[in-house]
Amino acid sequence: MILMHDIIREGHPTLREVAKEMTFPLTAEEKKLGEDLLQFLINSQDPEIANKHGLRSGIGIAAPQVNVSKRMFALYLPDSKGNQISLVVINPKIVSHSVEGSYVATGEGCLSVDRDVPGYVPRHARITVKFFTPNGEEKKMRLKGLPAIAFQHELDHLNGIMFYDHINKDNPFAEIPNASPLEE
């Protein structure tokens, strides 16, 4: 199982690489990695397991965060209707997005960042995405709210981008035009 010491932290060069496209069929090792990433998130949200292993709670984790520079990430969080989103995402693309923006009112966090970085991280409010499942099935999905923000945060990891790269350096809490806050 993935533990906190398996997760690389800011400053590690892999977090700044553009991760490689994956090819199908995935190897057994790549499939296992997808399962492990998702299982880490599930474990991290289970108070007993998280406490036992000292896991920080997460809703998304990308392969580069465990030092594997491939275009894969996992998401595990409820959507606004309370449906559980539980996904291993491969070779994701945003095919379209809303003009309207969004941001988490309390800022974003990251399993690879051991400090609070205050400020608004501008995101698209709604996105339509395409990606492949570990079995090579292509999926198209519309996301909004926190799942849309989490997807964009994880997709950034595949492109070597950290959430704080998006924060306004002169005024971290400057109003973001055309965007509404997401209350968490």
Residue 167 near Zn ion by CB under 5 A? no
Total chain residues near Zn ion (CB under 5 A): 1
Question: Residue 16 or 52: which CB sits closer to Zn ion?
Answer: 16
d(CA 12, CA 121): 22
Q: Is 63 in the site for Zn ion (CB under 5 A)?
A: no
Residue pair 65/8 in contact (Cβ under 8 Å)? The answer is: yes
Return d(Cα 1, Cα 13) in angstroms, integer: 23
Do the Cβ atoms of 135 and 114 come closer than 8 Å? no
Write out the binding residues for Zn ion, residues 93-122 only, by CB under 5 A: 110
Query: What minimum distance in Å lies between the beta carbon of 60 and Zn ion?
Result: 7
What 3-state DSSP class applies to 43?
helix
Is residue 7 close enough to count as binding Zn ion by CB under 5 A?
no
CB of 10 to Zn ion, least distance (A): 9
10 is catalytic: no
Residue with Cβ nearer Zn ion (110 or 158): 110
Closest approach of Cβ 111 to Zn ion, in Å? 6
Task: Tell me how far, at minimum, the Cβ of 28 lies from Zn ion, in Å.
Answer: 26
Q: Which residue has the tokens 């959430």?
A: 163
Ranked by CB distance to Zn ion, the top (closest) residue is 110
Strand partners, 140: 130
- The catalytic position among 30, 154, 175, 183 is 154
Q: Which is nearer to Zn ion, 41 or 90 (CB)?
A: 41
What does 13-56 look like in DSSP terms, one character per residue?
Answer: GGGGSPPBPP-SSPPHHHHHHHHHHHHHHHHHTSHHHHHHHTPP
Placement of tokens 């959507």 in the chain: 79
Instruction: Give the CA count within 13 Å in the CB-facing half-sphere of 57.
Output: 7
Between 132 and 163, whose beta carbon lies closer to Zn ion? 163
Please give the residue ranges that form the binding site for Zn ion (CB under 5 A). Answer: 110
Please identify every residue annotated as catalytic. 154
